[in-house]
Amino acid sequence: MIKVLVTGGKGQLAQCIQSISNDYPSLDFVFLGSSDLDISNKKEVENYFSKNHFDYCINCAAYTAVDKAEEELEIAKKVNVTGAKSLAIACKKNNVILIHISTDFVFDGTAKSPYTEEDTTNPISVYGKTKRDGELEITSNLPQYFIIRTSWLYSEFAGNFVKTMLRLSKEREELSVVDDQTGCPTYAKDLAEVILKIIDSQSKKFGIYHYSNQGQITWYDFAKEIFKQSKADINLYKTDSKTFKTLATRPNYSVLNTSKIHSLLNLEPIQWEKSLEKCLKKIN
């Protein structure tokens, strides 16, 4: 059996992993929330790893409140940077392969074509900076890692854009959504499948990878498709980032190039509309 530790066990990605874990009988999972293991506490992490044997650690633990991070820099750093470092050090000491989840927010959004793994990171928000710094802690402390950058994650679990749109469509007659930020939504269950396939194949092609669903759209396009597929009765309007002000600056363009994960690991991303359809069926 391959022993797999999943941190951030209460989040949507960990819940997606748990929901498909029975499809991988050769993998034996342990899911831990922040109350079970504080990844920012180096001693606690060291002790836990020394007492329990794992082959892989999937780090789903993250501070992801993008706007709140602007005011809670230290808390975001604690989880996203210190936590990543603690896990990297413990994984190295105990010969565990780390799979760490990162984000499109490590880029500044000035590109005109999808970002590759080799493109220079230049985050423009506290959240993005802490996630980039977490990546650097892993790459400098650990030889055996997969860092998977993803974007616009949603699922039937926890809070996310899809569930918010569905709720608002029942509460309001009209809604305005920004149309000047382009990226690609990713169904967390698709990402979960990708992670478990990497483990199941026991690939040694370590490094940084990009994974999102296929296509590029704005948040307005995404909302429009959610309402179309769910047959919601709501009037949708376009707005822009200047009108819809937020504490954190978002990248205007953060589409990820996924050709590396396809060519090296033979994992082909699914078209975003199809994945949205799968998720909406689960929610309904």
Q: Are 279 and 156 in contact (CB under 8 A)?
A: yes
Neighbours of 46 (CB within 10 A): 15
* β pairing state of 182-183 and 56-59: unpaired
The DSSP code for 81 is I
**Three-state DSSP state, 161:** helix
Among 48, 63, 127, 154, the one annotated catalytic: 127
Burial (0-12, 13-18, 19+ Cβ within 10 Å), 189: buried
C-alpha–C-alpha distance, residues 92 and 141, integer Å:
8
Place of tokens 């990713």: 186
- The structure tokens listed for 238 are 């376009």
Place of tokens 């530790």: 5
C-alpha–C-alpha distance, residues 24 and 234, integer Å:
41
| Residue 127 is among the residues annotated as catalytic for this protein | yes
C-alpha–C-alpha distance, residues 4 and 175, integer Å:
42
C-alpha–C-alpha distance, residues 53 and 220, integer Å:
46
Half-sphere exposure of 175 (CA within 13 A, CB side): 23
* β pairing state of 182-183 and 217-218: antiparallel
- The structure tokens listed for 36 are 């079970």
User: Could you give the angle at the alpha carbon of 197 between the alpha carbons of 218 and 61, nearest 5°?
Assistant: 60
Give the residue among 93, 123, 60 at the shortest CA–CA distance from 251.
123
Catalytic residue list = 127
